[in-house]
Amino acid sequence: MNKEGKLKWAILTSRWGRNAKDLIEAYGGGQLEGSEISLLIYDGLPSGAAEAAESQGVENIRVQLADFPSKAAYQHHLTQLLQDREIDYVLLLSFKYLVREELLKAFPGKIINIHPSLFPSFLNTHKAIQEALDYGVKITGITTHVIDEQVDAGTIVCQEPIRLDPGETFETAYPKFAKTAQKILKDTIAEIEKAQGGR
């Protein structure tokens, strides 16, 4: 926790970082009472998340896998960055790499992922929204969960349903997911705050 007793969060993101950008802006707008977004680690450019972090005064660091001899070395560096800043919890928001053993052991039960489906449906895929559309489900949603050694597993923190209308396409569905993601991320942080006494 920081000096004010707030939980310190880091965000790891890849690509442009829509969810990370929106959450950082929500933090800058005072919507996270018991938490502080202390660090953004990103790899892709352009990065809307990095732009938001810069504008909100959140430390942001670009770290690229290509600059390291192995995935293990890359995640060792990530672990050191997080530990050096005394981060309490880590949010994976469209982070495209599997979290390896060292990082899991450094933050046991404290790494939270967001997945665009209602567990246990449409797991182990980067195309969960499109697969839900292709399957013809009427209700899908978003899950946040604590990660462990398995892919798309671990304890569920929050879930939010999303209704898919007849004729829905990815283009019409995606804004629903983006809007719902902000609610569930803030709810997830609030749940963690409550559990940790951060509020």
CB atoms near residue 93 (< 10 Å): 25
In percent, the amount of the chain with pLDDT more than 70 equals: 96
65-108: per-residue pLDDT in tens? Answer: 999 999 999 999 999 999 999 999 999 998 988 898 999 999 99
Is the pLDDT assigned to residue 124 strictly greater than 50? yes
Q: Where are the domains of the chain?
A: 7-196
31-57: per-residue pLDDT in tens? Answer: 998 999 999 999 989 999 999 999 999
19: CB partners within 8 A, 6+ apart: 13, 93, 94, 114, 178, 181, 182, 185
Which fold is adopted by the domain 7-196? Rossmann fold (3.40.50)
pTM of the predicted model, to two decimals?
0.92
